[in-house]
Structure 1
Amino acid sequence: MTQRLDYRALSPDGVKGLFAVQPYLIKALPRPFLDIIWIRISQINGCAYCVDQHVKDALQHGASERKLHHVAIWWESPLFDAQEQAALAYAEAVTRLEHQRVADDVYEAARTRFDERTLTDLTIAIVAMNAWNRLAISMRKGAPA
């Protein structure tokens, strides 16, 4: 797959703006928790570049290979605690936005596991990853060989 446009070179200020939230999120939410959320969103969206990058990041931040293999089937895996499960369900709901909404039960499950600020930060992390995925996918930025 050939990348369509080198968006980083063509719009460095735009890309810089898009990525400006990342340092805040890395401070606000623990790693590799954040990486696992970003991996799942990238799997749903089919962003090979982002899956590859965030798997590398998660390994670097201490996630086990086994847990990373289970991200795609998190709801059946014993490796994710209740907070991670709520975050993954919420990330899937926000990413898919079925019927233009996040179901109340999914939101309430996340709301019971996170305080208001953390849930807001998690939502920003989910929305940001969806934006990054869409940029990489639309420009055909594939995973490195």
Structure 2
Amino acid sequence: MTQRLNYEKASPGGIEALGRVYGYIMQSGLDAVLVDLVYLRASQINGCAYCIDMHTRDLIKKGVAIDKIVLVPVWQEAGALFSDREKAALAWAESVTRVAQSGVPDDDFQAARAVFSEKELADLTIAIGLMNAYNRLAISFRATPEAAR
């Protein structure tokens, strides 16, 4: 796959702005592994090879077991491998990422709100939106995953 456009070079200010949002999320108080699991799941739904590769590597670096990482797409079937907070975050990530199909139903909101504070849920939703933006950049401009270089 050949990269169509170097979006970081083309729009350094835009990428810097996204980076500030990323920085906010990293200091928001949300668990870093939970955020990376959500980033990975959104990237899987969107089919972003670059981001799937990156967030898989990030989770491995953070010590997350390979067994858990490979079961992210089917987290509902993974029993106790995922915590209640992780399950709620992954469900919310799926609903928000699929907003055009899901409309983010009230039941999904209530389930997430039962587990996360208002601030946590807002921050989690910002993180999901950010990853969806990064996915669209990487997919549109054909960013090459590290594994494929």
TM-score by length of 1: 0.95
| Runs of 5+ consecutive residues of structure 2 not aligned to the other structure | none
**Superposition deviation, residue 99 in structure 1:** 4.5
2:39 aligned with 1:3: no
Alignment partner of 2:4: what SS? coil
**Superposition deviation, residue 30 in structure 1:** 0.9
- For 2:33 and 2:84, how far apart are their aligned partners in 1? 16
| Runs of 5+ consecutive residues of structure 1 not aligned to the other structure | none
**Superposition deviation, residue 62 in structure 1:** 2.1
**Superposition deviation, residue 20 in structure 1:** 1.2
Q: Any runs of at least 4 consecutive aligned residues in structure 1 with deviations exceeding 2 A, and if so which?
A: none
C-alpha offsets along residues 59-86 of structure 1, whole Å, 9 cap, x if unaligned?
1122111110110110111211221111
Identity %: 48
- For 1:89 and 1:124, how far apart are their aligned partners in 2? 15
2:66 aligned with 1:85: no
C-alpha offsets along residues 71-129 of structure 1, whole Å, 9 cap, x if unaligned?
01101112112211111111000000145620111110000000100000000000000
Q: After the TM superposition, which residues 48-67 of structure 1 pair with which residues of structure 2 at under 5 Å, given as runs?
A: 48-67=49-68
Match in the other structure for 1:13: 13
Q: Could you tell which deviates more after superposition, 57-66 or 34-43?
A: 57-66
Letter of the structure 1 residue corresponding to residue 74 of structure 2: I
- For 2:96 and 2:18, how far apart are their aligned partners in 1? 19
Match in the other structure for 1:120: 122
Q: Could you tell which deviates more after superposition, 100-109 or 72-81?
A: 100-109
For the aligned residue pairs, the C-alpha RMSD in angstroms reads 1.1
